[in-house]
Amino acid sequence: MTRPAPRLRGRVAAALATVVAVTLVLSGCVYSLIPETRPASTASPTPDTDGVDEELLPFYEQTLLWGDCGDGFECTTVRAPLDWSDPSVGDIQLSVVRHRATGGEAIGSLLTNPGGPGASGVSLIRDSLAFAVGQPLQQRFDVIGFDPRGVGESTAVRCYDAAQMDAYLFPDVSAPRGSDAWTQEALDRHEGFAQACEANSGGILPHITTENAARDMDLLRAVLGDEQLNYLGYSYGTFLGATYAKLYPERVGRLVLDGAIDPAASGFDVSTTQAIGFESALRAYMTDCLTSDDCPFRGSVDEAMADLGALLASADASPLIAADGRELNADALTTTIVAALYSRDNWTFLTNALSDVLQGDPEFAFVLADFYYNRQEGQYLDNSTEAFRAYNCMDYPADETFEADEEAAQAQLEAEAPTIAPYWAGPDPCEVWPYPPTGVREAITAEGAAPIVVVGTTNDPATPYEWSVALADQLASGVLVTRVGEGHTGYNKGNACVDSAVESYLVDGVIPEDGLRCE
């Protein structure tokens, strides 16, 4: 079946401008990994085991040994049950990094998640601390990054090596788009990927769910010695945080959810709304581009968008070949565009890439596409693509509304996102996933939870503003803060109004005015 699938990458995708700038002047790895061998250091405080089931006590009572992992960070691993419904099945390991409060004694831990699903929380904090949290939060909290189950340095989903991943993400497609042969080629690729994930992941795939990750997060809260969870989640991390609040409303401390996902939205709704969001962001980019002499497009915005559509169609029919042999077809060029639209700071890079493509040069377009997949010098720096697929296939049930009228659904997508729509949908990769989904899509109210601040950005392409409005409305204690602007997520992006609202709440418990609008 042809359907659009959710396409989230989270906070890290918005850091493109910094990474591209570094990539252009430096060779080698931008990101560093946590050392596997860590010397023992300080032990953790007494874990909070109040109300914990007896069978889970061995996990909640574990003592953490923190090791120095350089640059002022401490690292540890936490044992968690593979199956929360049957802890006897076995354990997994969760990788955790901590940055101690810089302003004296911490008021507690602040857990963070960059999104994805599949983005590394360890890398977010170790490599991008200032990007992840502002100075007021660094001063008052022990800032915690962790790789959720299935991700990064935790017990991880493993599927393909770099060469296999290149062939999967950047395939040489022989059949015409939309034909039966094209559909079968895509399904065969998805099935090969799914089989590799099953073969190489050690039996963890059915347990890679957001609900299990939220339970892991409560375990982290407890072994860190916190009675309640303080949390800053971006993008998909908002769904993780909202799921935590649903499961443990009485343990919610101060939660900020930035760039929200609507928990009630189906997979089709998520992807369609995203496509419309990226189309809107693309028009905003094009409006700005046309004011510059460097813009490769001319005429009105509508004319420029039509020319971009023609460029995508040309890439689909006659892909450009990069120096490494990869084809820049319409799918790869769409990824280039999407990667750049996560932040207004990236628009200049998009102009450069599109100008080059129009001249027959795909190299810089691949720099942007590679950033989206965290690929560098022919290697993938993490397993975010594998984990992304694993979580989404377990979290999103089949969409009966879409299946009932696929043609109408596709027509809606094409009407509202005409530039992007032709390259947004394809055979559903989760049709061939080894395990059926266990997640549900439903509103989350989290009755009894402390106030939960939801931050939305009005022209966020990846997590459109309407999702933040929806989540704040669903949550019984939801408080909406709006950033008027472009790009993905709102906190720590240069808007003093948003930053003050978020930091005052997390540090001092000052609840923002519901509906606060930050221009």
pLDDT (0 to 100) of residue 22: 29
Q: What is the mean pLDDT of residues 85-108?
A: 97
Examine residue 465 and state whether it is found in any structural domain, yes or no: no
Active centre residues (catalytic)? 235, 460, 488
Tell me if 54 is assigned to some domain: no
Mean pLDDT along residues 367-390: 97
Residue 307 lies in a domain: yes
* Model confidence at 4: pLDDT above 80: no
Higher per-residue confidence, 452 vs 410: 452
Predicted confidence band of residue 338 (pLDDT cuts 50, 70, 90): very high
**pLDDT tens digits for 411-428?**
888 999 999 999 998 899
| Residue 454 banded pLDDT, cuts 50, 70, 90 | very high
Q: How many domains does the chain have?
A: 1
Which DSSP symbol is given to 40? Answer: -
Range of the domain at 363: 2-29+271-372
Q: What percent of the chain has pLDDT over 70?
A: 90
Per-residue pLDDT of 232-253, as tens digits, reads 999 999 999 999 999 999 999 9
For residue 43, the 8-state DSSP code is: B
Average pLDDT over residues 327-351: 97
Residues 6 or more apart whose Cβ sits within 8 Å of residue 358: 296, 311
- Nearest CA-CA partner of 384 in 30, 121, 132, 83: 121
* Residue 398: predicted pLDDT: 82
Question: What's this model's pTM, rounded to 2 decimal places?
Answer: 0.91
Q: Give the tokens for residue 100.
A: 């101690």
CA atoms of 425 and 423, how far apart (whole Å): 6
Is 18 inside a domain boundary? yes
Residues 354-380 have a mean pLDDT of 98
Q: What element of type H or E holds 95? A: strand 91-99
DSSP state of 64: P
Q: Where are the alpha helices (DSSP H) in 291-383?
A: 301-317, 330-340, 347-358, 363-372
- Indicate whether 74 belongs to any domain: no
The angle at the Cα of 330, spanning 285 to 283, to the nearest 5 degrees, equals 15
Q: Is residue 320 part of a domain?
A: yes
Q: Give pLDDT, residue 25.
A: 27
- Under the banding of pLDDT at 50, 70 and 90, the label for residue 402 is low
Tell me if 518 is assigned to some domain. no
C-alpha distances out from residue 243 to 105, 122, 261, 476, Å: 30, 21, 11, 14
**Whether the predicted pLDDT of 26 surpasses 50:** no
> Mean pLDDT score of the chain, rounded to an integer?
91
Mind listing the pLDDT tens digit for each residue in 59-78?
999 999 999 999 999 999 99
Determine, yes or no, domain membership for 317: yes
